Amino acid sequence: MKLLFILDPLNSLKPYKDTSLAIMREASLRGDTLYVCKQHDLFLRANIAKVKAQVFNFTENAFSVEDENEFFPTDFDAIIMRKDPPFDNEYLYSTYLLEIAVAQGAKVYNSPSAIRSWNEKLSVTRFAQFAPEFLVAANSDLIRDFLVQHQDIVVKPLDGMGGSSIFRLTRNDPNISVILETITQFGARTIMAQRYLPAILQGDKRIIIIDGEPLPYALARIPKAGETRGNLAAGGKGVAQALSARDFEIASTVGKTLKAEGLFLVGLDVIGEHLTEINVTSPTGMVEIAAQTDCKPATIFMDALSKMCVNNF
């Protein structure tokens, strides 16, 4: 197969833990031809979608790329969108361009319209039966009322990643006002507040869904001492563990909807018994799970993608 991966700049990727590179390495071992580009390599010439891309090769030391060429998106058997958030206007425009490419016959995973529709924080509201108590608002008074009701909460922006700008608030916190002013930009930015879940101390579990089916292991991101966030980017430690019965209930239920929506690779965040986020942009965790268990996420991904491409031929 010819596969195009839309990535962040190659020099920003960390080969020892990068999920995109793990998938690409598995594809390379199968004999697939790999191409890479960045989001701004997508463009329209008149009404026709095009992309500038480079052949990507693994080398003994790392990887290399060949000269850039221009392609139609339909030249590839699959396009895998792996650009990291933040989901800003440029990311939004990329989903529009990819949606045009899909209308012209390209196969893009995840579905660009679904990425656009499934905000990674707000999407848990579609499965309120699994989510902790939450509030979505820009008004500080409403957030304060939510804090009074639950005593201990977490507030986070709707477009953050890697644990950035997540705050834990208790009623006696002397910095409540400045935190709410900062995170809501004085009432100009909508945020999500969730009841604090003490189970975070046992880990923020990343459950990977591939074509609607969960992997049998989650990656529990355990916060470092004195930290509320379990995100690996915030210093958390990743520990693979088998899915609990509750994990599987959440993942299998949510997975059915994700598959129907065209969301092929998704990372669910589960704390204790509760679903807290649905990551549809560039979920990670495959490398750590593969290193600590007998599960091979990249192999499972490529098996499913190959089947999908054959069925869509």
Catalytic residue among 50, 107, 121, 195: 121
At residue 219, the pLDDT reads: 97
Choose, from 26, 41, 206, 247, the residue flagged as catalytic: 206
pLDDT of residue 74: 98
Residue 235 has pLDDT above 90, yes or no: no
pTM of the complete model = 0.93
The DSSP line for 16-72 is TT-HHHHHHHHHHHTT-EEEEE-GGGEEEETTEEEEEEEEEEE-SSSEEEEEEEEE-
Of the residues 229, 231, 247, 288, only one is catalytic, namely: 229
Residue 48: pLDDT band (50, 70, 90) is very high
- The predicted pLDDT at position 164 comes to 74
Averaged pLDDT score across all residues of the chain: 94
Q: Is 144 left (phi over 0), alpha (psi -120 to 50) or beta?
A: alpha
Catalytic residue list contains 121: yes
Residues 6+ apart with CB under 8 A from 264: 109, 110, 111, 210, 211, 304, 305, 308
Q: What are the φ and ψ backbone dihedral angles of 156, each rounded to 5 degrees? A: -155, 150
For residue 210, what pLDDT is reported?
Answer: 98
Helix (H, G, I), strand (E, B) or coil at 281: coil
DSSP-assigned letter for residue 136: E
The catalytically annotated residue of 82, 83, 205, 221 is: 221
Catalytic residue among 110, 119, 231, 279: 279
Catalytic residue among 41, 204, 269, 288: 269
269 is catalytic: yes
**Alpha-helical runs (H) found in the chain:** 19-29, 89-103, 112-117, 140-150, 176-184, 245-260, 286-292, 297-311
Q: What is the pLDDT of residues 107-137, one digit of tens each?
A: 999 999 999 999 999 999 999 999 999 999 9
Strand partners, 134: 194
Q: Specify whether the CB–CB gap between 231 and 163 falls below 8 A.
A: yes
* Listed residue (17, 166, 2) closest to 69, CA to CA: 2
At residue 234, the pLDDT reads: 56
pLDDT band at 15, cuts 50/70/90?
Answer: confident
Let me know: does 283 contact 264? Beta carbons within 8 Å: no
**What distance in Å separates the CA atoms of residue 153 and residue 218, rounded to the nearest whole number?**
25
Hey, what amino acid is at 115?
I
Residue 230: predicted pLDDT: 60
Instruction: Judge whether 30 counts as a catalytic residue.
Output: no
Angle between the N-to-C axes of helices 140-150 and 176-184, in degrees from 0 to 180, rounded to the nearest 10: 130
Structural domains of the chain ordered from first start: 2-113 (3.40.50.20), 133-196 (3.30.1490.20), 199-305 (3.30.470.20)
DSSP 238: E
d(CA 102, CA 29): 27
How far from chain centre, in Å, is Cα 285? 10
CA distance 125 to 143: 17
| Per annotation, catalytic residue among 156, 195, 211, 231 | 156
Q: Please, how many CA atoms are within 13 Å of residue 295, restricted to the half-sphere of its CB? A: 22
Q: Answer whether the bond into residue 110 is a cis peptide, omega within 30°.
A: yes
pLDDT at 227 exceeding the cut of 80: no
277 labelled catalytic: yes
| Tokens (6 digits) for 186 | 């004085």
